[in-house]
Amino acid sequence: MKSTVEQIRERFDKDVERFSNIETGQSATMDAPLCLELVTSAAAVVTPQARSLLDIGCGAGNYTLKMLQKMPDLNCTLIDLSQPMLDRALQRVSAATRGEVRTLQTDVRNAEFPAESFDIVLAAAVLHHLRTDQEWKQTFSAILRWLRPGGSFWIFDYLEQSLPQVQELMQRRHGEYLSHLKGGGEVGDKYRDSVFAYIQAEDTPKPLLWQINLLSEVGFSAAEILHKNGPFAAFGACKAAL
């Protein structure tokens, strides 16, 4: 049995500090600072007319803050399961924009916004919590509906691999990265095992090409893969302009 939404929320409520460093990003993910830069840079050049941003699973606000460095004074809507995360994100983002900042404590599967509300949607290290294929399809369809014509949707996330042999290889590479992050040895291995334990309990990721194909299936007009390293990738797609 996978963790419930409530169990996931409780873990994130206690982990605000780890998600509050814009220089390192979420350190348990490989190439986090690079992907933070790539995703927000792509959003800025693909959607230069943007006025409004939705950050799904915003955590402490790193992706929105990086976006505001490139496109100041966006109106920002931040959603997350964790109220402590939202409180920290609101504090940080409000200091960085003269635009409106709204927060909403919710699961993206329960979120409702009017059609064509946003120019950019970001989702960093969050969609792997979706469960069924139908939930993935409904979420991607909702995001397409929430975007204005010409808007764009950008993702950084943990992935499953299509081939079992490659899945094993990428998990091993991620494990080596995690152990090294904490100095290796017994301490590093203990940290690696703790991360793998909550991944096993909480996450149901999908392969990169499966997600790219789904973006096309629900109606996005074009997709781009920005970066892939181990079980992590940065990618996105656009909604056709009128």
Query: Which of 2-6, 24-28, 95-99, 103-107 has the least mean pLDDT?
Result: 24-28
Query: Which pLDDT tens digit goes with each residue over 81-137?
Result: 999 999 999 999 999 999 999 999 999 999 999 999 999 999 999 999 999 999 999
Domain 5-160+205-238 sits in which CATH superfamily? Vaccinia Virus protein VP39 (3.40.50.150)
Report domain extents, the chain: 5-160+205-238
The pLDDT > 70 percentage for the chain reads: 100
Residue 67 and residue 122 in contact, taking contact as beta carbons nearer than 8 Å:
yes
Query: Is the pLDDT at 23 greater than 90, yes or no?
Result: no
**What's the confidence (pLDDT) of residue 143?**
98
pLDDT in tens, 133-163: 999 999 999 999 999 999 999 999 999 999 9
Please work out, in degrees rounded to the nearest 5, the angle formed at the alpha carbon of residue 124 by the alpha carbons of 120 and 130: 105
What's the per-residue H, E or C state across the chain?
A: CCCCHHHHHHHHHCCCHHHCCCCCCCCCCCCHHHHHHHHHHHHHHHCCCCCEEEEECCCCCHHHHHHHHHCCCCEEEEEECCHHHHHHHHHHHHCCCCCCEEEEECCHHHCCCCCCCEEEEEEECCHHHCCCHHHHHHHHHHHHHHEEEEEEEEEEEECCCCCHHHHHHHHHHHHHHHHHHCCCHHHHHHHHHHHHHHHHHHCCCCCHHHHHHHHHHHCCCEEEEEEEECCEEEEEEECCCC
Structure tokens at 153: 């949707």
Residue from 44, 22, 86 nearest 226 by CA: 44
Mean pLDDT along residues 18-28? 84
What's the mean pLDDT in 56-62?
A: 97
The closest alpha carbon to 128, from 163, 157, 161, 170, belongs to 157
| Average pLDDT score, the chain | 96
Phi, psi (deg, nearest 5) at residue 120: -135, 135
Q: Is 199's pLDDT higher than 90?
A: yes
Tell me the average pLDDT across 201-225.
97
d(CA 114, CA 131) in angstroms, rounded, equals 25
The whole-number pLDDT of residue 106 equals: 96
pLDDT band at 34 (very low <50, low <70, confident <90, very high): very high
Least confident of 9-23, 112-126, 206-220: 9-23
Mean pLDDT of 182-206: 95
Which amino acid type is present at position 206?
Answer: K
Instruction: Measure the CA–CA gap between 54 and 119, rounded to whole angstroms.
Output: 8
